[in-house]
């Protein structure tokens, strides 16, 4: 049985996101009522806008980043877009805890690419930079202290593994 070193589940739960969604819902509802009472517009415009808003709201609510490091592998998933991806520790060259500005460096949060590597996050400004022989990617974390301990554990594990 594997020993869990680090596990974190993140969702989009920042208040500002939901305030924007509430403001958007209010605006779209108002536009829908206006279009329904106006002879010059179709109610379908409002219905389509409302459907899109509900779909985006549900998507933001169910999106979930899960990261797990155990004594054999690193794995992560980003529901509903990415199923579980697993990297045996032997394939990982390095793990580094970094601080970054997701808005400036990647243009926002979620699943992003900056022409160097992919980032998977839901908020915050810390992440675990993972380098394998084939790719580099960043896993956001809202638990930087626990992530730092996991990175330290990994570095010690690599050192002990190479010494043997």
Residue 16 has pLDDT above 90, yes or no: no
Q: What is the CATH number of domain 4-10+69-163?
A: 2.30.29
pLDDT category at 147 given cuts 50, 70, 90 is very high
Q: Does 42 score more than 80 pLDDT?
A: no
Q: Answer whether residue 163 shows pLDDT above 70.
A: no
In tens, the pLDDT along 105-120 reads 998 899 999 999 999 9
The confidence band for 41, taking pLDDT boundaries of 50, 70 and 90, is low
Q: Give the pLDDT mean for 50-73.
A: 92
Q: Angle 132-135-140 (CA atoms, 0-180°, nearest 5)?
A: 85
Burial bucket for residue 163 (CB in 10 Å: 0-12, 13-18, 19+): exposed
Between residues 18 and 132, which one has the greater pLDDT? 132
**Rg of the chain (C-alpha set):** 21
Edge-to-edge strands of the sheet including 118-121?
92-99, 126-132, 136-141, 118-121, 110-113
Q: Rounded distance, CA 86 to CA 95, Å?
A: 15
Strands 126-132 and 136-141: antiparallel
Strand partners, 40: none
Tell me: pLDDT of 128 over 70. yes
Q: For position 85, what pLDDT does the model report?
A: 98
SS3 of 107, please? coil
What does the mean pLDDT of the chain come to? 90
CA distance 64 to 82: 10
Q: For residue 29, what pLDDT band results from cuts at 50, 70 and 90?
A: confident
What does pTM read for this prediction?
0.84
């Amino acid at each position: 049985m594997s020993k869990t070193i680090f596990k974190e589940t993140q969702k989009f739960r920042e208040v500002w996101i939901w305030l924007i969604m509430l403001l958007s819902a209010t605006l779209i509802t108002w536009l829908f009522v206006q279009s329904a009472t106006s002879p010059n517009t179709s109610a379908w415009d409002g219905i389509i806008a409302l459907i899109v808003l509900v779909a985006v709201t549900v998507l933001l609510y169910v999106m979930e980043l899960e990261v797990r490091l155990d004594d054999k592998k690193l794995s992560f998933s980003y529901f509903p877009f990415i199923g579980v991806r697993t990297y045996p520790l032997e394939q990982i060259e390095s793990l580094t805890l970094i601080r970054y500005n997701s808005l400036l460096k990647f243009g926002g949060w979620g699943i992003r690419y900056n022409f160097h590597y992919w980032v998977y996050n839901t908020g915050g400004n810390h992440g675990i930079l993972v380098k394998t022989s084939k790719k580099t990617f960043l896993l956001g974390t809202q638990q930087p202290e626990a992530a730092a301990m996991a990175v330290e554990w990994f570095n010690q594990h690599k050192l002990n593994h190479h010494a043997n």
